[in-house]
Structure 1
């Protein structure tokens, strides 16, 4: 399996990259982003682009892939709906449109978030935009599209978030994470489980196109 990974320097993306490099069934990984991952591995190649919303200059390097894991995301804090839409909906659909044309047999996996609003009508701005993005992706001409909606993610293996606000939040909450894991186990997953579940769904699919946190854990652990 050949994987295109967007957002490899973020927390979920780092977890996905780690599992890709460990998985003998993954032949090669191309990490597409505004900066390099900083890792060296025989299966990994960094493809650095200034604007991932415009991939026209590198289209020749994006064909021949079985799977795309799209883990690019920004916090909506302090952002109005127009800007958040541009950096979430517009950006994602631009990438997906290019990849659907180049790799129509591809499985496209979008990392969204718990609470995304499929109705697109709710009061929470980020949830509406995420839901709109999910709905549009599921109409695109890929072989398959899956949406991951994780809730609380525990970072393992030295992985950290690239967003300062999240780093501070995780530092504050870290002592409580084991408690949350016991109290609401279906809502707490890890970067390792995320990576394993992403690859498992890319290979074998899933009965429903949207995977909530509990589904992600089931897939990652082989339970159920």
Structure 2
């Protein structure tokens, strides 16, 4: 299985990349982003792409992949809706539309968020924009699109958020998060859970497109199954 990861230097992307590197059936991994991950592995190639809105010059490097794990995202705190939409909807669709054309047999997995508004008309700005993005992705001609809606995610194995306020929160909440995740495994996820669940849907698919916290947790257990989806090369 050959996979693309967008946003591999963010907290979620770091966790997803780690799980891909640990998976014996992942033969090639290509990250796409503005900065390098500093990970070393013979299966890993890093495509540095300064303009995440335009992929015309690198299309040849984006062909031949079985799955894309799209982990790019920004916080909506303090942002106007137009700016947040550009960095969420426009940026995601710029990549996804290109990939759908180049890899029609690809499974595309998008990190959305718990509480996303599929109607696109609710009061929450970020939820409307995420809902619009999810809806647009489902209309693209991929083999399959899966929309992950995690809530609180505990970073494990050295994964760190790029956002300072989030780093401070996770550092302060680390002992509590570990306890709460053990008590409520279907309500709080880890970066391991998200990465393993992404691999599971790439291998085997899922029964529905929108995957909430409990669904992601359940799917993460499937990542240890050795049988690959026969439709994935």
Give your verdict on TM over 0.5: yes
Displacement after TM superposition at 1:184 (Å): 3.5
> Take 2:40 and 2:179, find their aligned partners in 1: how far apart are those partners?
36
Q: Could you say what secondary structure the match of 1:201 adopts? A: helix
Deviations 1:77-131 (A, max 9, x none): 1100000000000110110000011001111000111111111111010011001
Partner of 2:167: 167
> Take 2:123 and 2:85, find their aligned partners in 1: how far apart are those partners?
15
> Take 1:142 and 1:198, find their aligned partners in 2: how far apart are those partners?
16
Partner of 1:68: 68
> Take 2:145 and 2:165, find their aligned partners in 1: how far apart are those partners?
30
Structure 2, unmatched stretches of 5+, are 224-233
Partner of 1:142: 142
Partner of 2:26: 26
> Take 2:106 and 2:48, find their aligned partners in 1: how far apart are those partners?
22
> Take 1:144 and 1:192, find their aligned partners in 2: how far apart are those partners?
22
> Take 2:171 and 2:157, find their aligned partners in 1: how far apart are those partners?
15
Partner of 2:212: 212
Q: Is the counterpart of residue 9 in structure 1 residue 6 in structure 2?
A: no
> Take 1:125 and 1:180, find their aligned partners in 2: how far apart are those partners?
29
Q: Is the counterpart of residue 59 in structure 1 residue 59 in structure 2?
A: yes
Distance 1:121 1:63, change over 3 A: same
Q: Is the counterpart of residue 127 in structure 1 residue 127 in structure 2?
A: yes
Displacement after TM superposition at 1:138 (Å): 0.5
Distance 1:125 1:151, change over 3 A: same
Deviations 1:13-40 (A, max 9, x none): 1111011111110010000000011111
Tell me if structure 1 keeps the 8 A contact 2:200–2:222: no
| TM-score (ref. length: structure 1) | 0.96
Q: Could you say what secondary structure the match of 1:128 adopts? A: helix
> Take 1:184 and 1:191, find their aligned partners in 2: how far apart are those partners?
16
Aligned residues: 223
> Take 1:101 and 1:170, find their aligned partners in 2: how far apart are those partners?
39
Partner of 2:194: 194
The farther-off stretch of 156-165 and 182-191 is 182-191
> Take 1:222 and 1:65, find their aligned partners in 2: how far apart are those partners?
21
Displacement after TM superposition at 1:175 (Å): 2.7
> Take 1:165 and 1:91, find their aligned partners in 2: how far apart are those partners?
24
> Take 1:39 and 1:75, find their aligned partners in 2: how far apart are those partners?
25
Dislocated runs of 4+, deviation >3 Å: none
> Take 2:201 and 2:165, find their aligned partners in 1: how far apart are those partners?
30
Displacement after TM superposition at 1:172 (Å): 2.4
Tell me if structure 1 keeps the 8 A contact 2:197–2:222: no
> Take 2:76 and 2:211, find their aligned partners in 1: how far apart are those partners?
22
